[in-house]
Chains A and B, each alone.
Chain A
């Protein structure tokens, strides 16, 4: 014991002399908060980044950079030549890809490899598709003195909290890219006057851009994916028979809560068939015409509402099948319940899905009228 005690101080000193290898003080680090990848007309891949500036007297709060590089890791080295601190990607909040990239470079997901491979990079960063050239986005200064990542995150979070847009993190995208029974869906953002969430970008299994959904369709998609938030809002015009003044406004808005979605699968003659049943409890939010909601009227209103939702869902599903994409993940159901059949069509599930039968049944109950009649 005493021998070890005697050894302790010189050992401790030795340890102190070894130095700190991994130390990177925060003010010496330039952390990339928004990483972007774009491709220009000449086919060159460019990387973008936005770093916050911590200096006391700087006018700008963040700095945007652009370098040309196909390898993200190499790009990092190039960024480092610009930045005051040591460039790193440990705190990336948002990863933006331009629409042109996913339209032209099909295998763009390979760029994401570095985020998974390096143990210190986060996989909770949000994925966003930007409709337009990325230089436009990076030159944009958000109002209210916020910096770009906060503005982007804010706009994505606020829409997804109302179930008006899909919210995909890098890790979720990874799952969707690899999953044979599902195709990826990513938030789509554009810059028109201000930063705006346009809707959802749907991609094919290999990453290729296929089509976009607007916010109404995104809400329905979220319902089908069972990833909607508590309440989803719907506004539509009721059929003329239910209104006393057919020429006046027929608008009505509901907030649906407690949405229960049941999906059943079956295989009929080599084709898959899906039965989707939806039950909703809705509360009336806005009624622009006078009508009494009682008994008969109520049932008619419910029927109208159910019909409306069903039609919209069928439109969405038709669009999906037409474009041969399955962001809902019906393939997962297929695999779970009909494993053998699914395995046969695994590699071209998009084809199989486009040929599948999908039936939707919607049942709505109006539970709440609000504070006024």
Chain B
């Protein structure tokens, strides 16, 4: 009857209305459509909406206290059975006290909703809805209970001295983990929803008095403009809100560790937590942030400084070493001292292919082994390492296809890239390496230099939400150097990094109490 007409009109309205708010549903009703109050009608409409949904459970019941007919609707699997059975059904069915009715439910979160959009969204998010015959509102209970894993060590970012907790796939848990590190009332959260079909909750977490409000406005604006159907992972979100998705460098840091996230918030950055994803985004970041790891602050500062230097050195090696090898062997062998030249010459005399091809071949093999190692389960993965390293490397040299020096170069490069703490930066480095090798193969060390200059030209124009990416090297900000190449002692770090443009530059000064040794 009117149901079909309602559907028809609703669809037309839905199609023509463009400013539909953040959620654009393809459902056949208007955004302002509410439930009718008549239980049977409502249930009919509900079932018409949720066709082919066998996990939707509609539990008809009579509320004992008021005698009214009602129905509890929920999605099995998304809800916590215990909570539904004991906290909702039990009081409703058994409670005889007068006047309580639906409010006798003993559930923490209780809302009332009227619009179909909200109700539908609530059901799909794991709430259970109570439709009462004659009531204009439906009652929504917070009974979420989907399957989730326990808190474990983060897979990718291991730390020696830091906490062994990593984010999980539930937004609220992740926020809780962050709150544990910063129990301060100025820790604010701005929630948004992204994705037409996924309706993902995205929260921006920051410290109100420290972070820069302009950057916040930018972040919120960009997230708001996203028009996509599904966000599966936070990595996708990062690509959508990045300044320059074409750049090989990541402009948003992804981390799985709550301690890293909290540390970044304290420095004045924003952490964006995405529901269903164990990685959170940190923005705005600069190039130097990708070389910091949480262990740096737990180890002694002189060691930490040494390791920081090592990382930057490793960056240079990982990008330029194979290219330098090719350039020197193919173009500028006069740069090598005599004895080294003769040694290399002996090895090169055996190999039938040119240095460039040799290098490309070995690098591609290494990349393939790396990817294979990621895909394989752990026990088999070990074998790949042994097979790759020993058998292929050694056998290929003995067959005379690749020179020893090339194997050493490639191995050294691989080790150097493993030192970098951030996966996205490592990926960027792996890509750039090939780019440099091509430059070297065409034009020798001049080609490498041009590649380097192009890289610098690119880096200095890159920005991450308003902060220059190349900071603190270009533009030079000497004040920020205290935490980049070196890690100066904690009690000297009085100010936050200038690059995040924090509202409050001074941290609370950590005074080191004089120990007996000094």
Interface positions of A (Cβ within 8 A of B): 5, 15-16, 18, 20, 22-27, 29, 31, 33, 52-56, 90-91, 93, 120, 122, 147, 149-150, 153
Measured CB to CB, the closest approach of chain B to A150, in angstroms, equals 7
On chain A, the residues within 8 Å of B338 by CB distance are: 33, 91, 93, 149-150, 153
- The answer to whether A22 touches B444 (Cβ under 8 A) is yes
Which of A20, A27, A91, A120 has the most chain B CB atoms closer than 10 A to its own CB?
A27
On chain B, the residues within 8 Å of A150 by CB distance are: 338-339
How many angstroms between the C-alpha atoms of A342 and B444 in the bound complex?
Answer: 49
List 5 tightest A-B contacts by C-beta distance, closest first: A54-B349, A54-B345, A90-B334, A27-B348, A56-B350
B187 CB within 8 Å of chain A: no
On chain B, the residues within 8 Å of A22 by CB distance are: 331, 443-444
Could you write out 19 A-B pairs with CB less than 8 Å apart? A5-B246, A15-B442, A16-B442, A18-B442, A22-B331, A22-B443, A24-B331, A25-B329, A25-B330, A25-B348, A25-B355, A26-B330, A26-B333, A26-B344, A26-B345, A33-B338, A52-B345, A53-B349, A122-B334
On chain A, the residues within 8 Å of B345 by CB distance are: 26-27, 52, 54
On chain B, the residues within 8 Å of A56 by CB distance are: 349-350, 400
Given A22-B443, A25-B354, 12 more A-B residue pairs with CB atoms under 8 Å apart are: A20-B442, A22-B331, A23-B330, A23-B441, A25-B329, A25-B330, A26-B348, A27-B345, A52-B342, A90-B333, A91-B334, A93-B338
How many angstroms between the C-alpha atoms of A84 and B333 in the bound complex?
Answer: 18
On chain B, the residues within 8 Å of A29 by CB distance are: 333
B438 CB within 8 Å of chain A: yes
B341 CB within 8 Å of chain A: yes
- CB contact between B341 and one of A25, A55, A91, A120 (< 8 Å): that residue: A91
On chain A, the residues within 8 Å of B350 by CB distance are: 56
Interface positions of B (Cβ within 8 A of A): 246, 329-331, 333-334, 338-339, 341-342, 344-346, 348-351, 354-355, 400, 438, 441-444
- The answer to whether A55 touches B349 (Cβ under 8 A) is yes
Minimum CB distance partner of B329 in chain A: A26
Q: A56-B349, A56-B350, A93-B338 are in contact. Are A20 and B443 (CB under 8 A)?
A: yes
On chain A, the residues within 8 Å of B334 by CB distance are: 90-91, 120, 122
Minimum CB distance partner of A2 in chain B: B246
Minimum CB distance partner of A122 in chain B: B334
On chain A, the residues within 8 Å of B400 by CB distance are: 56
> Chain A binding site: helix, strand, loop or mixed by DSSP?
loop
Q: A20-B442, A91-B338, A149-B338 are in contact. Are A27 and B330 (CB under 8 A)?
A: no
Which of B246, B330, B355, B441 has the most chain A CB atoms closer than 10 A to its own CB?
B330
Measured CB to CB, the closest approach of chain B to A155, in angstroms, equals 15
How many angstroms between the C-alpha atoms of A26 and B351 in the bound complex?
Answer: 11
Which of B246, B329, B341, B349 has the most chain A CB atoms closer than 10 A to its own CB?
B349
- The answer to whether A54 touches B444 (Cβ under 8 A) is no
Measured CB to CB, the closest approach of chain A to B230, in angstroms, equals 26
Measured CB to CB, the closest approach of chain A to B327, in angstroms, equals 10
How many angstroms between the C-alpha atoms of A253 and B200 in the bound complex?
Answer: 91
- The answer to whether A31 touches B333 (Cβ under 8 A) is yes
Which of B339, B344, B441, B443 has the most chain A CB atoms closer than 10 A to its own CB?
B443
Minimum CB distance partner of A20 in chain B: B442
How many angstroms between the C-alpha atoms of A15 and B346 in the bound complex?
Answer: 32
On chain A, the residues within 8 Å of B346 by CB distance are: 54
On chain B, the residues within 8 Å of A16 by CB distance are: 438, 442
How many angstroms between the C-alpha atoms of A93 and B334 in the bound complex?
Answer: 11
- The answer to whether A91 touches B442 (Cβ under 8 A) is no
How many angstroms between the C-alpha atoms of A202 and B354 in the bound complex?
Answer: 47
Measured CB to CB, the closest approach of chain B to A142, in angstroms, equals 14
Minimum CB distance partner of A54 in chain B: B349
How many angstroms between the C-alpha atoms of A352 and B341 in the bound complex?
Answer: 48
Minimum CB distance partner of B442 in chain A: A20
How many angstroms between the C-alpha atoms of A24 and B329 in the bound complex?
Answer: 8
On chain A, the residues within 8 Å of B349 by CB distance are: 27, 53-56
How many angstroms between the C-alpha atoms of A90 and B444 in the bound complex?
Answer: 16
Q: A25-B329, A122-B334 are in contact. Are A20 and B441 (CB under 8 A)?
A: yes
Measured CB to CB, the closest approach of chain B to A40, in angstroms, equals 30
Measured CB to CB, the closest approach of chain B to A91, in angstroms, equals 5
How many angstroms between the C-alpha atoms of A93 and B443 in the bound complex?
Answer: 26
On chain A, the residues within 8 Å of B348 by CB distance are: 25-27, 54
Which of B348, B354, B442 has the most chain A CB atoms closer than 10 A to its own CB?
B442
How many angstroms between the C-alpha atoms of A15 and B454 in the bound complex?
Answer: 15
Minimum CB distance partner of B345 in chain A: A54
Measured CB to CB, the closest approach of chain B to A47, in angstroms, equals 20
On chain B, the residues within 8 Å of A149 by CB distance are: 338
Measured CB to CB, the closest approach of chain B to A279, in angstroms, equals 38
Measured CB to CB, the closest approach of chain B to A342, in angstroms, equals 39
Measured CB to CB, the closest approach of chain A to B103, in angstroms, equals 59
On chain A, the residues within 8 Å of B344 by CB distance are: 26
How many angstroms between the C-alpha atoms of A161 and B89 in the bound complex?
Answer: 99
Measured CB to CB, the closest approach of chain B to A85, in angstroms, equals 10
Measured CB to CB, the closest approach of chain B to A215, in angstroms, equals 26
How many angstroms between the C-alpha atoms of A320 and B118 in the bound complex?
Answer: 108
Measured CB to CB, the closest approach of chain B to A19, in angstroms, equals 8
On chain B, the residues within 8 Å of A24 by CB distance are: 330-331, 333
How many angstroms between the C-alpha atoms of A27 and B355 in the bound complex?
Answer: 10
How many angstroms between the C-alpha atoms of A52 and B341 in the bound complex?
Answer: 10
On chain A, the residues within 8 Å of B329 by CB distance are: 25-26
Measured CB to CB, the closest approach of chain B to A360, in angstroms, equals 40
